[in-house]
Amino acid sequence: MIRVEHLTRRFGDLVAVDDISFDAAPGRITGLLGPNGAGKTTTLSMVSGLLRPTSGSIRLDGISMAERPREAKALLGVVPQEVALYEELSSRENLEFWGSLRGLTGRELSARIEEVLHVVDLAGRRDPVSKFSGGMKRRLNLAAGILHRPRILLLDEPTVGIDVQARAHILDVIRATAEEGATVLYTTHYLEEAEELCDRVAILDHGRILADDRVDDLKRSLGEGSVVAVHGDFVENEFRRAFPWDGPIHFPEDGRAFLTTGRGSVARLLEQVLGCGLSIEDVSVREPSLQSVFLQLTGRELRD
Ligand SMILES: Nc1ncnc2c1ncn2[C@@H]1O[C@H](COP(=O)(O)OP(=O)(O)O)[C@@H](O)[C@H]1O
Ligand SMILES: [Mg+2]
């Protein structure tokens, strides 16, 4: 398991990670969800032992990263945000390189390479990686991360910029890895992905954890209300005057308002909005989702 306590990292005056604590359990996929610049990569780099924390502690299966870094790192498989492959080598040659760094040799290494190439559906490819599509490179990057059967797998936005099929395949492999008992920590800025994949999600923004819970419980506690999105020709003050609403409301820009309401009172709210006398062009209702949780926590929408 991963245990992070009071972790902070500064870059000069910038506090990229600000006193965060969380656990990730074995056999589970824990999500670290946040927009670009939230501090996801900085957090993962510290958990990987690549970046020294300014303060705070990291324990991997009880082993302190600060005190016993070699033992802690030996537990890890890491799938970095930037694809880390040798373009001129084939997929097998790339995996031979990564496997040998992890202490795999001979028959064990070649058998395991065939196994993971099969898992990521690249067994038939013998050409250099430079010929691969973005999705194939991402799959090979994942194969390199799981080759040595790590007990803890860290993934930094492993599905950015790839097609739907490659994404589905990668998510399946990650699920299978967790089902085999590994602790998986997964960062993403895709809400739908966190919702679909993760057992537990910590929402990160400006280096801080705003919420950390099971996905269902997050939705129940924070996103319980449906979000009514209103578009029209109005500014914030006008809207507030015409429509005194005491529930949570956000105005991301002129002409847009998001109101959160309890599940039973959507119809009444819609009636009131449409009858408020402003020029309303469009109204839509979103059911509770991580999107509405995020909106409520940050006042912003998280977009791809
Ligand atoms: N090596 C660095 N030096 C200075 N600032 C950095 C460095 N790495 C990250 N940052 C800053 O820290 C913040 C968090 O970055 P990062 O962890 O990469 O976010 P994310 O992965 O969530 O997009 C950003 O403001 C980024 O510009
Ligand atoms: Mg990042």
Structural domain count of the chain: 2
At 200 the pLDDT is 96
- 40 near 156, Cβ under 8 Å? yes
Positions of the chain with pLDDT lower than 70, given as ranges: 222-224, 263, 301-304
CA dist 120 and 140 (Å) reads 7
Tens digits of residue pLDDT in 124-155: 999 999 999 999 999 999 999 999 999 999 99
CA dist 175 and 166 (Å) reads 14
Q: Are residues 160 and 276 in the same domain?
A: no
> Which parts of 12-84 are beta strand (E)?
14-24, 29-33, 55-60, 63-64, 76-79
Task: Please say whether the dihedral angle defined by the alpha carbons of residues 275, 277, 283 and 286, taken in this order, is positive or negative.
Answer: negative
- Whether the CB of 80 sits within 6 Å of ligand 1: no
At 133 the pLDDT is 92
Domain that holds residue 83: 2-219
At 304 the pLDDT is 45
Q: Coil, strand or helix: which one is 181?
A: coil
- Whether the CB of 44 sits within 6 Å of ligand 1: no
**Helix ranges restricted to H, the chain:** 40-47, 69-74, 91-101, 106-119, 134-146, 164-179, 191-197, 215-221, 236-242, 266-274, 290-298
HSE of 166 in the Cβ direction (CA atoms, 13 Å)?
18
pTM above 0.85, yes or no: no
CA dist 17 and 7 (Å) reads 7
Q: Are residues 179 and 236 in the same domain?
A: no
Q: Which residue out of 15, 17, 33, 42 has the highest number of ligand 1 atoms within 8 Å of its CB and is therefore the one to mutate? A: 42
**Separation of 262 CA from ligand 2 center, angstroms?**
34
CATH classification at residue 177: 3.40.50.300
Tens digits of residue pLDDT in 251-264: 878 888 888 787 67
CATH classification at residue 247: 3.30.70
Task: Please say whether the dihedral angle defined by the alpha carbons of residues 219, 221, 225 and 230, taken in this order, is positive or negative.
Answer: negative
Domain final residue, candidates 186, 202, 219: 219
At 99 the pLDDT is 95
**Separation of 77 CA from ligand 1 center, angstroms?**
22
**Separation of 33 CA from ligand 2 center, angstroms?**
10
2-11 and 152-156 as β-strands: parallel, antiparallel, unpaired? unpaired
Q: Are residues 121 and 152 in the same domain?
A: yes
